[in-house]
Structure 1
Amino acid sequence: MAPDPSGKGQEANGSIYMNESLPLVESQQKFPPAGSAINILFNKVEPVKVQIRDLGVELTTEATWSKPITYLKNITSKSTNQPPKELLRFVSADFQPSLIAIIGSSGSGKTTLLDALSDRLTGRAHINQGIALFNGRPGVDNIEHAYVTQQDILLPSLTVRETLRYAADLRLPLSIARERHAIVEDVIAELGLQKCADTRIGNSQNRGCSGGEKRRVSIGVQLLANPSMLCLDEPTTGLDAASAFHLATTLRRISRKGRVVVMTIHQPRPEIWSLFDNVIVLAEGGPVYSGPTIESLPWFELNGFEKPPFINPADFIIDTAAIDYRGSKLEEESRARVNALKSAWHVETQRRFPPLSRTECSLHVPPTRKKGSRHMSQFRQVRILTNRTVKVTYRDPLGMTALVTEAILMGLAVGYMFYDLGRDEAGIRSRQGPPEPQKALPANENITSQRPIAKIRSVSVELQQFMLTLSTKTLRTIRTGPTERSILKPINAKFEPGVLNVVLGPSGSGKSSLLNAIARRLRDSIGTKYQQHGRITFNGMEPSRLAMESICSYVHQDGELLLPAMTVRETLRYAAALRLPRSMSVTERQQRADDLLLKMGLNNCADTLIGSESFRGISGGEKRRVSLAIQILRDPQVILVDEPTSGLDAFTANSIVQVLQDLAEEGRTIIMAIHQPRSDLFAYFGNILLLSQVGSPVYFGPAKDMTDYLAAI
């Protein structure tokens, strides 16, 4: 979309300029005064136009105070200036109010682009070139915008309506105090939350809303601010196919109200793909396509890549734009293909997105933003948060009792230790403690290293029926609380080695509960108790807990606790040193770790830090592969995997399933729960256990017979 020639644009060095021909935005006046129409949230949206030209993001590598090792590297290296790492380069796009998807393989820069647009880059990552204009002005703070993170940060003891009402009290200006509840009801209706409006959010201990409902509540909290641009980081990750489609339909409906909705997404199904108006395809930080969704496949066909029939368009595009690191030859071929696509799109970019006109405004000019009634008084914030805390505490009597009891017991213990100390020399020394803190260290070490281990080993969960060829005759998991509820109905299944065993079902069907029961990970707490009926056997026997630990590995949905300051190679090598037997030499252990780097497609990021929220590292998909590699290190006979493809792009998900299939063909028993498997993954599935919403088995048997069975019902 060509800019107005009277506007302003960008220098070659990447400075940002204002386009005065576009309307300016009054960022504070987003709601009409009290007494106006009630249905204002979805009818009164400030229009926004987003223009991106040659946007680039880099990660500096200079020495920092938080990483002393970088100073040593600078001293020992010949050059003190290390080149920065490019995360994004030459990204151009134009957005009108619509639904935009950012797709690409793992580590391609999807979240980086979303963070750059939302001004959420942290650590040493920063925009080093290009321009991003919002209604002709630099800086997203010139418009109302909102960002929905991948994690749902919600209070489990509040209901959906209460969560939105407290958010409205904190976010909405005082001028519309009378309309707040009406606005909340508008959000509930728009997001389809009427049925669960009075249901508590819930958590792993107390059931409440489903994963899809929680995700919509998180979106609703951000919609309360009436944003003109809504950014979402992988909103469908962890949701089943039906919930993901419902959420995508909701986002499309929101965009039709005049909002720019930008989302990163992994593995969009064909029905979700058809909802996108525009798409940006990234490969190693560079775009290979940016434009209308309906024109994406013709563009790839023009460059010699035609989609085969019966293939999901999104999967085809992501696979075509992905680099395969599982072998040097595969990497060379795929890199040549991706470089050709990048070069072709770079030429096309000059035609589709001409440079904006120039001005003298600098890239780092701070955006102007008026101060108004949006800022709430501190007294009002304290009052609202206090009211919320009282309600949350009242609904968690067990936690409140534990907190009070802990304070009383600690007070009594400390008081008893120092009660009636003598005034002689011994009493004085008792008051002062040891003259050197180091004298207290050995005792502290024993306490911290022994007690947690004892607690873990004292947990006893009754599991009955599992085998190396897993055979589950009648498994019924019941959670007792205020009311007893059945999580899993009686299941008869036999998971065999040598094939990929898959557990399918919608959110809340009990897939993870079944895996946890098999792995003996269901633990009673003060407030919850699990009762299990039936048997789980391994080769007809019930192994001891120690035997279970030696033959079974569990890959959790949220991944392992990875140290952010370690590189991928270091993480695997340390894990190999701890997990592999002593009979293997150090060289053999390191070779085992390096072989897994290649097998899991992690060669490209082997020397990259894991990273965290405070500083950037590898992508979420790469972290998932590292977590899986750690569990594969010790070569277990049984591998239980909870949502291994959740949060991964189509290409990476396919490679993960191929790795699991290869492991199964070596004689292992692989059982995995999975959400939204792409159609071509069914060719890898051996046996499928399909669960209904209430945890009842709908089908168990060979994957190839499932569709015929369901069609005959």
Structure 2
Amino acid sequence: METRSQNEPAPPGILMRAVSPVDVAVRNVSVTAGTSSRGPSIFQTIRSRKVLQEDEESGTTSRPLLNNVSAYMPQGSLTAIIGASGSGKTTLLNVLAQRLDESTMEISGSTTFNGVSQLSSQYAYVMQDDCLIPSLTVRETLQYSGELRLDDVLSAKERSLIVEQTISELSLKECASTRVGTSSAKGCSGGEKRRTSIGIQLLQNPSVLFADEVTSGLDATSAHQVVQTLKDFAKRGRTIVMTIHQPRSEIWDLFDRVVVLAHGSCVYSGEAERCLPYFKSIGFEAPPFVNPAEFLIDLAAIDNRTPEKERIDLIRFDRLRTSWAKHNDEVTDARTTSANLSVATRSSKVSTWRQFRIMTRRSMLVSFRDPKGLLGTIAEAVAVAFILGWAFYKLDDNLQGIRSRQGAFFTAAAVQGYLMLVYEIHRCTEDLPIFDREHSEGVVHVLPYLLSRRAAKAIEDILMSFLYSVIFYFMVGLRPGTEHFFIFFATVLLIQLTAVSVAMFSVSIFRDFPSAAMIGFAVFGYSNFSGGCFIPANKIPPYVGWVKWISYIFYAYGALMNNEFSGRIFSCDKPEGVTSFHCEQFSGAYQLRVSGVSLSISQGLVALAGLVGGFNVAIGLVLYFFPVKIRMSKKPQVDFKPTIHVEREGQSWSEKRQEAVISLMQYSLDVQKRRPWGAIHNQISILKPLSTTFQPGKLNIIMGPSGSGKTSLLSSLADRLRNSMLTSYKTQGEIMVNGHVATNSRLGSMISLVTQDDDGLLPSLTVRETLRFAAALRLHDLSVDAKHQKAEEILLRMGLKDCANTLIGNNMIKGVSGGEKRRVTIAIQLLTDPKVLLLDEPTSGLDGYTAQNIIELLTELAAEGRTVVLTIHQNRSDLFATNVLLLARGGQVGYCGPGKDMLPHFRDAGYECSEQTNPGDFVLDLITVDLRDDRREVESKKRVERLLSIWSAKEKEHSDKKSASAEVWSISDDAKVFVKSPASFTIAFPILFHRSALNLWREKNAMIARIMNVVPYGLLIALFFAPLHTDYQAILTRLGLIQLVCFMYFMGTLNNAAHFPIEKPVMNQEVEERAYTVVPFFVSFSLLELPFTLVASCLAAVVAAFPIGVRSAEVYFAMFFNIFAMLSCGESLALALNSVLSDSGLTLSVTNVLICIAQTMAGVLSINMPKFLRDINRISPITYVAGNLAPYFFRGVVFDCSPEKKLPGESCIQTKGDDILQLYGLDHNPRVQLAILAGVMLGYRLFAFVVLYLRKRTWK
């Protein structure tokens, strides 16, 4: 498609581009939540309906989310949906955007757009959670999004201008070249990520824009700028509908219409200017100098902290609801007037070819930057090829070398493919959510996405396959000849493509890793069994023989075997040449015949290419017909009743104890970025030297725009900044407690920190259960009833009564709201009545009413002698504290002192705050640089620099304070009251075990995967190997059986990946908080794994051992114990690496590489390894599995040749099982090998504990 001529004038800004007007109306909409206990999958509809039916049969009451809501949002308007947390704001927005999964919810009523029910494709949705690519910069994120969303008729220059204007309007100029980052690899701040997400949606110039909590996490100034931008959009004919928690008074003036929700019911919907008069008319008048939004949220909220307050509020709520139900007749008229308008529907703005090119470039850039991308996969391929090539180094032409060649081909066909399969599954679980978002928005289609992903990964696929082939082929010393090498390379490349296709197919079915890995391992399992390496293809039982025709390992192994053996005769030391049976075994044709390889090289390669295409077609069909939709959490039935609340009005939570005054003296913080070889290449100043005092008895608030260092300051005080190989933090100055110098580590042991994220919550526990377990771990000296009483008291004080029995949830299961989750995190820290409490954005994502309650609660805590320090972005007019530390971007101090003196300070500087303005908003506006355009940027920078210089000069005037004491503060005498002591083992262990067991019981996917990854594998052994024969080919079959039992090692790592990553962030946070030590966690985690591992091992042994002909109790026990040991060692190895590495995908990849190497060196695939590798092999449990199973399966067995193989007067070579044991070096005492295996298994678990323990000690 041709683009606009470069001579034509540039297009108007994003605010000026015309759109098709759309009126939005909802009438009598009600939503009742169904239930779901698993993540998105293609089976979700069937499963959800079944669960709903079960709920009806069991009498379970569904959870109402919206109740008979009606509203009207005309074109050219900005409508705000407001209400307390859990009032249904996000649900109503999702109903409007038609983003709810109707299979899990009952939705009634109508939603129309210009009078029709079909939503125009020209709409956008800003989600509450940011879904961004971490390795792209802000500018690159918007550029690629712009290319995918903006019309083809626009030139590249015009699209770039629109992107730059978006960056400017959203104040993203200073972070435009900063990568988005993650929680472990810091990049943009939370506010900057939020604005980037908004910018992505604004680029497509939508007629209708839905925005869920767009100001959450933003400072007051940035929030006002964002809403002002949305208002400007609305003025140009767009329909903007947004939810918002804490709109400042200036933001309220920007709203055209307001929808007020309370407990899922609408208590007002109409023009904003008529809102307050309406409530006045029914007896609720807003007091003067109060933010209208705060008044309305407070009015519609229900305070359930005490029964009396709840009763009064419920009476008021019922009056509000009935009054509005009588008053509301607006929507009927609205639907009549909008029926004549038409909805502009359109196809995608961007052609399929251009989508392909854009996503290919984006994916290639991400792959180059991502350490798990190009460099990571190449490093893995080179390392594995070198080690495996070493294991098969320069094979001889004798029988051992010939057999080892077959093992090498299995390694090439199966092992490397499996490594990429697991690695790609993890990458796809991270990448597909980006596609899900863009696909749901209509900007990305399935076909170009699949093609672009493979095109972008083509360099990775080809390069790693080529390097692997070069290293492995020539180290092993395979068949000379250029054509043979390139056939080997082509086979390895097709294996790579098949593996990544299977991985994406698995993730397209299930988005969570445990379930996707189960699908991927099932495909690998049947391909492995029917591949022809362990069971000759012509000896596979006929009832499962058909499976080989869909096995990629079968085709790959056949092609590699043909490439090496077809037409080749190895040298034989017998004078008879090939006429004797002994030398016939040196014939390539004989080896192909014995292995059952019947396909040619070309047939194998064509079939592999067909499987690649087939899997990708299946992926496309699944992604197209089964898109991911929003799901709701299951509300579990709890078997305990809430403890009756005992009113404690006027009482302190705890008796007065010694207070802690924390002072900072010229305290500064820098971060150093290092190269991999250790050289410092960049040092960034996060906090400039500052001096301040955080006093007990009053709130201490740290304010400042995004990027001012607020979070870093709190993390530094709590000793939560962790150095890594590439990043280190450097502090200068002193921290003093009650006049004595304190180290960061000592201070960190006495502080409770509420972080900005909510990672320390288990998703499958309810709110009440979470608090009760937290109380049990932290309140050691109280009785069980007293602990429950404390949990109930905090639950009520935090306003969590209505969601007390709702699951926490995660990104796969919709549980409590973001605001409710925030309050749970705060409530956990309040359980211990901390003397020093730091809170990072405690009111972020909360409505004004809930935020007020939290600030009131924190004020009460401070009044009792605690030192409470909090950062805050947006504060209410009545939430202004007495001590304020105001930071500008870059960590410079703009003001520090009592709140009552702050406005006079700025008045003396020439800036007067009006009585109608929130003081917090006022000072944040002053100290923030406005980046929306060049003129504002220059003016605001001058203002900020002037204010900083004024405060710096004022500080110097008061620099004659007492110097800090040289005495280092130590834990002694009365200082011990500050330090938190961890729970003892006897207290922590049963609590942790109970909590983890309950969470795992509700994580059905993870629990089922632990069994279903193992038992079906045992069934496959029975299907493919039953019964064991004693002919000559059975030698290969029995060796293959041993090797496949060793593959249980992999399943142990998958079991760990399904469980430990969920527990890890909770453990990290609680150990940091000194709730308990590593020991009880490790023991409880290990014991919780034990019954699953025992049951899975026992069942797998039963279904595998008896059908293949095991009749001895000793051999059955050996099968059971070997499976159990393999699972346990896999879990231990993964646990150890998971403790060191922060990325669970990288952990899984490294673990599988190590296990693949161990598999190769077991003694079955590679017979004559170098001595060094044989010595290393002594610490591998696989060595002892092969060492004890081989005698059981070979000792005393005689293998007969078929009659046609015998020559007159001769017998077959190696017909005795004992000869096979000697050939492979497996002639051991099996009982001794089992005993050694038991010791190695225990050693691996002890090794995992030592690694975890030392890792936590290093963090300390």
Alignment match of 1:708 (pick from 904, 924, 941): 904
Paired with 1:44 and 1:371, the residues of 2 have a C-alpha distance of 15
Alignment match of 1:82 (pick from 60, 63, 70): 60
SS of residue paired to 2:690: coil
1:167–1:689 Cα change, 3 Å: same
Shift, 1:542, TM fit: 5.4
Paired with 2:174 and 2:898, the residues of 1 have a C-alpha distance of 36
Paired with 1:72 and 1:195, the residues of 2 have a C-alpha distance of 49
Larger radius of gyration: 2
Paired with 2:163 and 2:686, the residues of 1 have a C-alpha distance of 31
Paired with 2:246 and 2:143, the residues of 1 have a C-alpha distance of 34
SS of residue paired to 2:261: strand
Q: Does 1:687 align with 2:883?
A: yes
Paired with 2:785 and 2:882, the residues of 1 have a C-alpha distance of 36
Shift, 1:148, TM fit: 0.9
Shift, 1:494, TM fit: 1.3
The equivalent of 1:169 in structure 2 is: 147
1:73–1:60 Cα change, 3 Å: closer
The equivalent of 1:39 in structure 2 is: 11
Q: Is the 8 A contact 1:184 1:224 kept in 2?
A: no
Residue by residue, what CA displacement relative to the aligned partner does 1:78-100 show, whole Å, maximum 9, x if unpaired?
96233322101121111112111
Q: Is the 8 A contact 1:469 1:496 kept in 2?
A: yes
Paired with 1:382 and 1:68, the residues of 2 have a C-alpha distance of 35
1:417–1:57 Cα change, 3 Å: farther
The equivalent of 1:586 in structure 2 is: 784
Shift, 1:232, TM fit: 0.8
Q: Does 1:622 align with 2:820?
A: yes
Alignment match of 1:652 (pick from 850, 870, 884): 850
Residue by residue, what CA displacement relative to the aligned partner does 1:561-611 show, whole Å, maximum 9, x if unpaired?
322322111111222233332x43333322222221112111121111223
Q: Is the 8 A contact 2:49 2:103 kept in 1?
A: no
1:492–1:196 Cα change, 3 Å: closer
Paired with 2:330 and 2:190, the residues of 1 have a C-alpha distance of 43
Paired with 2:159 and 2:131, the residues of 1 have a C-alpha distance of 21
Q: Does 1:662 align with 2:860?
A: yes
Paired with 2:90 and 2:756, the residues of 1 have a C-alpha distance of 20
Alignment match of 1:185 (pick from 155, 161, 174): 161
Q: Is the 8 A contact 1:61 1:85 kept in 2?
A: no
The equivalent of 1:472 in structure 2 is: 664
Paired with 2:49 and 2:800, the residues of 1 have a C-alpha distance of 23
The equivalent of 1:496 in structure 2 is: 695
Residue by residue, what CA displacement relative to the aligned partner does 1:374-428 show, whole Å, maximum 9, x if unpaired?
5743x6544433322333454568986566545544555666678799979xx9x
Q: Is the 8 A contact 2:52 2:104 kept in 1?
A: no
> Partner letter of residue 839 of structure 2?
V
Paired with 1:73 and 1:542, the residues of 2 have a C-alpha distance of 61
Paired with 2:735 and 2:37, the residues of 1 have a C-alpha distance of 54
The equivalent of 2:804 in structure 1 is: 606
Paired with 1:192 and 1:336, the residues of 2 have a C-alpha distance of 48
SS of residue paired to 1:248: helix
SS of residue paired to 1:658: helix
> Partner letter of residue 54 of structure 1?
N
Residue by residue, what CA displacement relative to the aligned partner does 1:31-83 show, whole Å, maximum 9, x if unpaired?
998569852754220110112111111112599999999999999x9962333
> Partner letter of residue 631 of structure 1?
Q
Q: Does 1:269 align with 2:468?
A: no
Alignment match of 1:153 (pick from 114, 119, 131): 131
SS of residue paired to 2:131: coil
The equivalent of 1:573 in structure 2 is: 772
1:549–1:635 Cα change, 3 Å: farther
Paired with 2:226 and 2:373, the residues of 1 have a C-alpha distance of 34
Shift, 1:325, TM fit: 1.2
Q: Is the 8 A contact 1:187 1:223 kept in 2?
A: no
Paired with 2:870 and 2:382, the residues of 1 have a C-alpha distance of 46
Shift, 1:138, TM fit: 0.6
> Partner letter of residue 81 of structure 1?
G
Q: Which moved more, 1:381-390 or 1:330-339?
A: 381-390
Q: How many residues align?
A: 631
The equivalent of 2:722 in structure 1 is: 523
Structure 2, unaligned stretches of length 5 or more?
Answer: 337-341, 411-658, 674-680, 910-1260
Matches within 5 A, 1:209-608: 212-350=191-329, 353=332, 372=347, 374=349, 376-377=351-352, 380-394=354-368, 404-405=378-379, 408-409=382-383, 468-481=660-673, 482-541=681-740, 548=747, 550-581=749-780, 583-608=781-806
Q: Is the 8 A contact 1:63 1:70 kept in 2?
A: no
Paired with 1:573 and 1:279, the residues of 2 have a C-alpha distance of 39
SS of residue paired to 1:129: strand
Q: Which moved more, 1:627-636 or 1:268-277?
A: 627-636
The equivalent of 2:1140 in structure 1 is: none
How big is the alpha-carbon RMSD for the aligned residues of Structure 1 and Structure 2? 3.8
Identity %: 44
Paired with 1:687 and 1:112, the residues of 2 have a C-alpha distance of 38
1:597–1:214 Cα change, 3 Å: closer
State the structure with bigger RCO (CA 8 A, min sep 6), 1 or 2: 1
Residue by residue, what CA displacement relative to the aligned partner does 1:255-286 show, whole Å, maximum 9, x if unpaired?
11111111111110011110111111100001
Q: Does 1:133 align with 2:112?
A: yes
Residue by residue, what CA displacement relative to the aligned partner does 1:436-459 show, whole Å, maximum 9, x if unpaired?
xxxxxxxxxxxxxxxxxxxxxxxx
> Partner letter of residue 248 of structure 1?
V
Q: Does 1:696 align with 2:884?
A: no
1:198–1:599 Cα change, 3 Å: closer
Paired with 2:2 and 2:107, the residues of 1 have a C-alpha distance of 39
SS of residue paired to 2:693: strand
Q: Which moved more, 1:92-101 or 1:608-617?
A: 608-617
Residue by residue, what CA displacement relative to the aligned partner does 1:156-186 show, whole Å, maximum 9, x if unpaired?
5444443233223333454x2x435413423
The equivalent of 1:442 in structure 2 is: none
Shift, 1:349, TM fit: 1.0
Q: Which moved more, 1:263-272 or 1:659-668?
A: 659-668
Q: Is the 8 A contact 1:498 1:666 kept in 2?
A: yes
The equivalent of 1:91 in structure 2 is: 69
SS of residue paired to 2:155: helix
The equivalent of 1:453 in structure 2 is: none
Structure 1, unaligned stretches of length 5 or more?
Answer: 1-30, 358-366, 433-466
Shift, 1:221, TM fit: 1.8
Shift, 1:372, TM fit: 4.4
Query: More helix per residue: 1 or 2?
Result: 2
Q: Which moved more, 1:125-134 or 1:654-663?
A: 125-134
The equivalent of 2:22 in structure 1 is: 48
> Partner letter of residue 660 of structure 2?
L
SS of residue paired to 2:828: helix
> How high is the TM-score relative to the length of structure 1?
0.79
Residue by residue, what CA displacement relative to the aligned partner does 1:529-549 show, whole Å, maximum 9, x if unpaired?
221101123334555777555
Q: Is the 8 A contact 1:134 1:143 kept in 2?
A: no
Query: More strand per residue: 1 or 2?
Result: 1
1:643–1:571 Cα change, 3 Å: same
Q: Does 1:203 align with 2:181?
A: yes
SS of residue paired to 2:878: helix
1:703–1:63 Cα change, 3 Å: closer
Q: Is the 8 A contact 1:572 1:630 kept in 2?
A: yes
> Partner letter of residue 263 of structure 2?
E
